[in-house]
Structure 1
């Protein structure tokens, strides 16, 4: 029996022009290129410049995704933006992007699940499209994390960068088998007991300030591999697939050691992992769509490939998605 699936039509990305190397960071805090690279896999990151915001970066990624999909902005009737760094407390930054694209129909809203944001956003769009009220959606991850970093805290300022990625997705009838194109399974989870392990120490209703990112790195690392593995196992079971069926693993780019740990558990060879953390650092909700765009543009991801995405972020939130390209 045929089923309605959410199929990826195109993807795009945007990175600010300014590159900040580990050597530059070592001039701000007590660290070194060797220390950062050996513990995280990061060599450089992009930093948003004057006049570059979450909305402007997300807009450019959206335009690139629409061009890649061969669609016009007028074809879109839903925008879901994943971000923890909105332009303003309100309105939703998604509405700014909607206006800049000239779209006046449908819905546009933000989702905040920190580094898990893109997984949450894509799963949310999937549910809206399969439910019927919308036909095509832009799902965007865009972050300006450099604006919420304490540049005197070497435990956090070395880890993050800015950027945006986007995908265009469309509802399409598929045969209803594991070889269908589109999203085959999504597993989303959260456990608020760990909210103080990765957070920002400000907010409108508490301090009235933006605040800075704070993180208990060892605790985040300890939970990440376990929780990510559980979500991946559940998504594979939902789709009736095995780890050996995976063609490409596109994880949230948080830390090279976390990426390697998850891949080892899945028994995936290194050549099946899409890694961009060395050039992009951790771009939170933007990291997965940016990595997807790199792998699509360089020809690695091809139609029919099974792509696994996963992420864990503050909250804790985490999840996994299986998509047939």
Structure 2
């Protein structure tokens, strides 16, 4: 089969970074150990913390990341014949965000898909695109991950006394940021490129680790409107600490097996949350097999501390940051593992990097 390469990346985050000191002023402090475990010092929001007004929306960010990826690839938007977008915070329930971006790129006809697998979504999209491109169905694919979480966070604190905000409601405000990332993939000759990937949901018997309740069809709209907030973002911090490390360890092993490569040959590994203290501690505390993880010591790249938890955007946004900063170079073997704790999904892929 024809090899498939990543030929362009792009990332976008709105406005100026919001420091953690500002979050503390808005919602009150966290216990020192919790704050240290989150390891996030800044994040970007489309929503103004002071007023709640939005400077842009999800599709705006997705478009900007896509345009930057196309520019880096030297590809005109008209060449895209497959678009896949992952998001959990769309502009509207329908139409899909991917089609809003398609329209704004001027593409009248294009194959499109939208995934709702959170942090694993874009990596799943890489495998879908790889197969379609390798068998000749399509030639050039644009993959986007975008997330606009701040509009859900604003009602937690706007007009509220920080001292009265419960601890479980404070934590998501500290955690989440907004942003978008994009990749351009193309079939072509030559060595390298994207290897076969792996994905699984291993939480079929577990409660969601993150649950966004409201705005859907789980209950009558009239009943939902009586709630304190239209959308309530619930995060099981303890559950994430217990189970995310298992997703990461299994995801790394499955990805290496699918790509048929040894961990020692991997130059860099991108795992959002891969460098945070709570996860490393959990690996040790739970006695998980850390053979592959230890082999990756010093090779893990992660922009979480300065970008925040950005859901579907994390893998492509962090990948773009690593490439533009010179951390990823031509000839590197890069493993990416996306994880999603809503229902405990992982997806991984190995890229033999060919971009200059």
TM (normalized to structure 2)? 0.83
Matches within 5 A, 1:130-169: 130-149=134-153, 150-151=156-157, 152=165, 153-169=169-185
> 1:292 is paired with a residue of what secondary structure?
helix
CA offset digits 1:158-202 (Å, max 9, x no partner): 11100011010011245xxxxx42211311111333243221112
The structure 2 residue matched to 1:186, chosen from 166, 191, 197, is 197
1:52 corresponding residue in structure 2 = 56
Alpha-carbon distance in structure 1 between the residues aligned to 2:307 and 2:206: 26
Does the 8 Å CA contact 1:253/1:283 hold for their aligned counterparts?
Answer: no
List alignment gaps of at least 5 residues for structure 1: 175-179
Alpha-carbon distance in structure 2 between the residues aligned to 1:269 and 1:37: 25
> 2:143 is paired with a residue of what secondary structure?
strand
Tell me which protein shows more strand as a share of its residues: 1
Alpha-carbon distance in structure 2 between the residues aligned to 1:225 and 1:323: 23
Q: 1:31 to 1:282 in 2, by over 3 A?
A: same
Alpha-carbon distance in structure 2 between the residues aligned to 1:276 and 1:183: 22
> 1:158 is paired with a residue of what secondary structure?
helix
Q: Bigger shift: 181-190 or 205-214?
A: 205-214
Q: 1:240 to 1:275 in 2, by over 3 A?
A: same
* Superposition deviation, residue 80 in structure 1: 0.6
- The answer to whether structure 1 residue 107 and structure 2 residue 145 are counterparts is no
Does the 8 Å CA contact 1:236/1:243 hold for their aligned counterparts?
Answer: yes
The structure 2 residue matched to 1:19, chosen from 9, 17, 20, is 17
1:206 corresponding residue in structure 2 = 218
Alpha-carbon distance in structure 2 between the residues aligned to 1:89 and 1:79: 18
Alpha-carbon distance in structure 1 between the residues aligned to 2:305 and 2:34: 10
Structure 1 vs Structure 2 CA RMSD: 2.2
List alignment gaps of at least 5 residues for structure 2: 48-53, 158-164, 225-229, 284-289
Alpha-carbon distance in structure 2 between the residues aligned to 1:196 and 1:248: 30
TM (normalized to structure 1)? 0.90
Query: Between Structure 1 and Structure 2, how many residues are aligned?
Result: 318
* Superposition deviation, residue 28 in structure 1: 2.3
> 2:327 is paired with a residue of what secondary structure?
coil
* Superposition deviation, residue 73 in structure 1: 0.4
> 1:91 is paired with a residue of what secondary structure?
coil
The structure 2 residue matched to 1:273, chosen from 300, 318, 322, is 300
Alpha-carbon distance in structure 2 between the residues aligned to 1:158 and 1:264: 32
